Amino acid sequence: MLKGLVFRAERCFYLAKSYSLAGKRAEAYALFCNARTLADTAAQKLQMANNPDKVLIEDLRVLSDNCRSNSCMEHAAGIMEEEKIPEKLSKGVSTLSLTGREKKEEKFLLDMLDLYESAVADPGSKGVPRIERFPPPFQAVPCNPIVLDIAYNSIEFPSLENRVKKDKKGIFSRLWR
């Protein structure tokens, strides 16, 4: 049972390493912290055993230290990446254009329907001709006006009495139809 706990701690550590290499900082940090608690728990239980394995206890202490240092590095890397997010966002937003004109003019087939040119491509270009711009360019959309129904309470609606069928037989005759 104790060796199973040691195995779980090491498996959690190496799983955290793989998340770290994938760039998933929050998951890696959580897994490193979990691996450290598993390693510390296993080391404490091994020390309380009748015949403690000194080599395994030392390996668990090394694993716990590695988990602590790696969790600190993941935390620092996560904070550094969070600091760069507004910079990347502003850089991405600054390149957007509301006019829809791109910096590099490209030829689209739908713009040249009246011309007869090769459908393959220009003789000097290696790319495939593009049919239409995607995504379409941004356009300003008018907003719907805000309508406040202030006069609703003062409107007199027509009477619907003449459209309602009047049953002269009574309430109980309706039940036995």
Judge whether 75 lies within some domain.
Answer: yes
Judge whether 150 lies within some domain.
Answer: no
Percent of the chain with pLDDT over 70: 75
Residue 51 has what pLDDT? 84
Judge whether 146 lies within some domain.
Answer: no
Judge whether 33 lies within some domain.
Answer: yes
H helices of the chain, where?
2-22, 25-48, 54-94, 171-175
Per-residue pLDDT of 17-34, as tens digits, reads: 999 998 899 999 999 999
Q: How many domains does the chain have?
A: 1
74 close to 29: Cβ distance less than 8 angstroms: yes
Report how far residue 32's alpha carbon sits from residue 57's, in angstroms, rounded to the nearest whole number. 18
Q: Higher-confidence residue: 169 or 151?
A: 151
Per the structure, the complete domain to which residue 32 belongs is given by 2-94
Judge whether 143 lies within some domain.
Answer: no
71 close to 32: Cβ distance less than 8 angstroms: yes
Per-residue pLDDT of 87-108, as tens digits, reads: 877 777 777 766 655 455 667 7
Judge whether 172 lies within some domain.
Answer: no
Band of residue 176 on the pLDDT scale cut at 50, 70, 90 = low
Residue 29 has what pLDDT? 94
Per-residue pLDDT of 139-150, as tens digits, reads: 888 877 666 667
Judge whether 39 lies within some domain.
Answer: yes
Judge whether 76 lies within some domain.
Answer: yes
Q: Which two tokens stand for residue 74?
A: 């993941």
Per-residue pLDDT of 47-71, as tens digits, reads: 888 888 889 999 999 999 999 999 9
